[in-house]
A and B are shown apart, each in its own frame.
Chain A
Amino acid sequence: MRKRGRTADEVGARVGAGTAGAGGDLFAPGPNGDDAYGEPILRTVRLNKAFFMGETIYAVNDVNLAIEGGEFVLITGPSGSGKSTLLSLLGGLDRPISGEVILDGRRYSRLNENGLAALRRQKVGFVFQFFNLIPHLTARGNVMLPMRFAGRSAREVGERADELLALVGLTDRAGHRPSQLSGGEQQRVAIARALVNKPAVVLADEPTGNLDSKTREGIGEIFGRLNRETGQTFIVVSHDETFNGLADHVLHMVDGWIERNEVRSRH
């Protein structure tokens, strides 16, 4: 049984208020906006991103998305189809050339760089293929980092970090540096770090791409468990079968387009 996060309800209310009358037709529900869970936590409206490398490459091409709070979204597609680019736009790491991303009622186009940084801190957790841990900080230090930037007290942050390290099963590795950890362990630290600020959305770009098959299953298991238990929304780019079983929303991208947008029934 799926536990709906508190966040999702709050978000729904706020998005409704925020977008009423402001967006006009541009903010009308997208092709799959009308679903059973109310207002989506993450929406994109005609999102475009192009790179100009001699010729213009549309890495993300007119993407309209609506992702419900608590969904486990899997993004698949061939290499170069724009998955990473889309993810970076969703997380506010990069700016689109046109279109809008709305996360929990906040329109990215209305935020400056610091506003985006704050939004990332509060609402978004990232997990990368190359774990991207800070090498000279311990596992615990790495997990604490986003909270520290959010200005929390050291004690509060420490407790939360321990809690998360326990969640990913690394309590006994808290004092180790990344170089002293295996790939799987590093990725689990990265996951803990992504979750530390209780983000509404966790974005993961090929989180198991660098891991062996056995470790992959472990990561998949953690993602599934977190998604079920906390109701956080997961958006995962992966070709990994492990995630296919977990996903209740699958996007297949080709050449920047969403070629297939499949909302599965809950299981």
Chain B
Amino acid sequence: MTFFRLAFTNVARNLGRSVLSVIAMAVAAFVMTSSSSVAQGYPRDSFLAQRAFIGGDIIVYPDQYRLGGPTASGAGPADDRLTYARTAADALNDLPDFHPELRDEGYVRRGPALPNVIDLRQVQQRLWDEKAVKLIYPYYALPGFAGGPGGQSSPLRGRNTLLDQSVWHLYDYVTAGRYLTSADDGEFVAVVDARQAKEGRDVPPVGTSIEVSVPAVRHDPDGTRWFDYSAMKSFRFKVIGQIALPTRLLAWPTPPNGSASEQLYWSTPQVFIPAATFEQVYREVSGGNPYEFEQLMVIVEDQSFIRQAMTELRRALPEYTAVTVADQVTMAEARGLPEKVYQAPPQVRGDPSLRAQVGVPMDLGPAMTLLLYLIAAMIVAANMVLLVTSRRQEIGVLRAVGAKGRDVVLMILTETAALSLGGALIGFTLVRFAATWNLLSNRVGLARVGLLTLTDLGRVVGVTLAMAVVFGLFPAFRMARVSAMEVLRNE
């Protein structure tokens, strides 16, 4: 126990240097504690196929539901704002692609009387100054059925031909024919997903045409839009190309020592047509009205800082919901393969280690934190080396009066740990104070705040101690080798 006492006395004794170490550790702990809100991003090319298919890095849609319910008087509220939709075709956004259960279980939609369209110009104005957002543009989709009413669901999807060329390079995914170009704008041409054939659906060959029936768009007196499936109108598009969107490779071992793999694809029943053509179709089914957007696509400057873009979007558009494609894909993957698998045996499909893919999410926040910790730990270690070297003589005395090598190691490790922990606790407290205030003002329960604080504290203390021990070992073992002879040296 003596070495603990000595260690703590030593900390106090070299206050100047100790303070340096403490500050370094405090900064590291500060960053780590706040890392939950620090930028987290993805590598540049991760989930490229999915992002290209959706046409954005972030999806924005106006979902701020207000729940209605019976009032105290017993009468239902005049504006019961939520309805429960069961028709997949009703969802003019991509969520069901990531959450397939929505197709079966239905999903909550805005009811009448809430605006269900986005004022694109207003959004663009509000995002004018934001740096991480590079481009924002509308998403075009309409319910559609191939081969006339009652045919298979094939939503019509208006594509921005310019961005598909210059940003998403969708021509890279062409398996037959060619992809849409800006010259096709206004033409009744279409590109379909070749992989749909695998799922037993008819995929029209290049050169043939595809007929898509679209419900009429009606507007209630209050302006609410709805689809009238009893009045369908058919459009015929010339199929100029087929695409397939490869996502990742599923590879599994085949005993005794072989291996097999299957390329997975993101497949979609959507029929891609040029945006200009889409607007023409919309006018025809809506009685001349321009298209009203239900989803916006955001392209960010850099996927690595996608969190920053998310923060900007949330600040600028508080009444909208924004989700990143990468997060959605990650989430969908965590719950099993979102892509269809044909060859891989069922038992290997759930094994995440078998999925070779580009898009492993890279968590930059923790990496930066670790780096900072390493630097802080090295500052502490360097300080310790200096401190203990200046104490050679003293350690010699300790050895002479019977301290074992182990005692010296423990003494120095304790000192390192005390310094580091002191700093870490300062950094932790600074951030945690603000975070707790934030949580409490957001009405998070006290028990939960306590739990979160403890988990965070455990993490910070754990990492700090690990660093202190690892980096304290060098000075500690160096000094444990000092022999008792040191005390006789300076005669």
Contact = CB atoms under 8 A, between A and B. Distances in A.
Interface of A: 84, 87-88, 91, 93-94, 113-114, 117-118, 120-122, 126, 128-130, 132-137, 145-146, 148-150, 193, 197, 205-206
A47 to B, nearest CB: 16
A117 B9 contact: no
B484 A93 contact: yes
A148 B491 contact: no
B488 A149 contact: no
Given A93-B400, A117-B399, A121-B402, A145 B487 contact: no
B404 A134 contact: no
Contacts of B483: 93-94
6 contacts: A120-B402, A126-B487, A134-B398, A145-B401, A149-B403, A197-B402
Contacts of A135: 394
Contacts of A118: 402, 404
Contacts of B394: 134-135
Contact of A84 (B2, B5, B488): B488
Interface of B: 1-2, 5-6, 9-10, 13, 393-394, 396-407, 483-485, 487-488, 490-491
Contacts of B2: 145, 148-149
A145 B2 CA distance: 8
B121 to A, nearest CB: 71
A126 B6 CA distance: 20
Nearest to A94: B485
Contacts of A148: 1-2, 5
A84 B484 CA distance: 13
Contacts of A87: 488
B487 A84 contact: no
Nearest to A122: B402
Contacts of B13: 136
A122 B401 CA distance: 9
A121 B485 contact: no
Contacts, number: 80
A149 B395 CA distance: 13
B397 A149 contact: no
B402 A130 contact: no
A126 B490 contact: no
A205 B401 contact: no
B247 to A, nearest CB: 61
B485 A134 contact: no
A193 B401 CA distance: 9
Given A93-B483, A130-B491, A137-B9, 20 more contacts: A88-B488, A91-B400, A93-B485, A93-B487, A94-B483, A113-B404, A113-B405, A114-B404, A118-B402, A120-B401, A121-B401, A126-B487, A128-B488, A130-B490, A132-B396, A134-B6, A134-B397, A145-B401, A150-B402, A205-B491
A149 B400 CA distance: 11
Contacts of B488: 84, 87-88, 93, 128, 205
B273 to A, nearest CB: 82
Contacts of A137: 6, 9
A126 B10 contact: no
Contacts of A128: 487-488
The 7 closest A-B pairs by CB, nearest first: A121-B402, A148-B2, A146-B401, A93-B484, A149-B402, A132-B397, A136-B13
B485 A117 contact: no
A128 B404 CA distance: 20
A149 B10 contact: no
A127 B395 CA distance: 16
B10 A136 contact: yes
A121 B404 CA distance: 10
A120 to B, nearest CB: 5
Contacts of A134: 6, 394, 397-398
A178 to B, nearest CB: 11
A107 to B, nearest CB: 19
A122 B6 CA distance: 21
Contacts of B487: 93, 126, 128, 130, 132
B412 to A, nearest CB: 15
Nearest to A93: B484
B485 A149 contact: no
Contacts of B400: 91, 93, 120, 126, 132
Contacts of A88: 485, 488
B401 to A, nearest CB: 4
A134 B399 CA distance: 12
B132 to A, nearest CB: 53
Contact of B402 (A117, A133, A206): A117
A132 B403 contact: no
A91 B397 CA distance: 13
A149 B407 contact: yes
B485 A136 contact: no
A191 to B, nearest CB: 13
A132 B404 contact: no
Contact of B484 (A120, A146, A206): A120
A126 B400 CA distance: 8
Q: Which of A88, A135, A148, A197 has the most CB of B within 10 A?
A: A148
Contacts of B10: 136
Q: Which of A93, A114, A129, A197 has the most CB of B within 10 A?
A: A93
A91 B401 CA distance: 11
Contacts of B401: 120-121, 126, 145-146, 149, 193
A93 B400 CA distance: 7
Nearest to A135: B394
A117 B403 contact: yes
A171 B397 CA distance: 23
Nearest to A206: B491
Q: Which of B398, B401, B403 has the most CB of A within 10 A?
A: B401
A146 B397 contact: no
A88 B252 CA distance: 68
Contacts of A114: 404-406
Contacts of A136: 9-10, 13
B385 to A, nearest CB: 19
Nearest to B401: A146
A118 B402 CA distance: 6
Contacts of A121: 401-402
A150 B396 CA distance: 17
A119 to B, nearest CB: 9
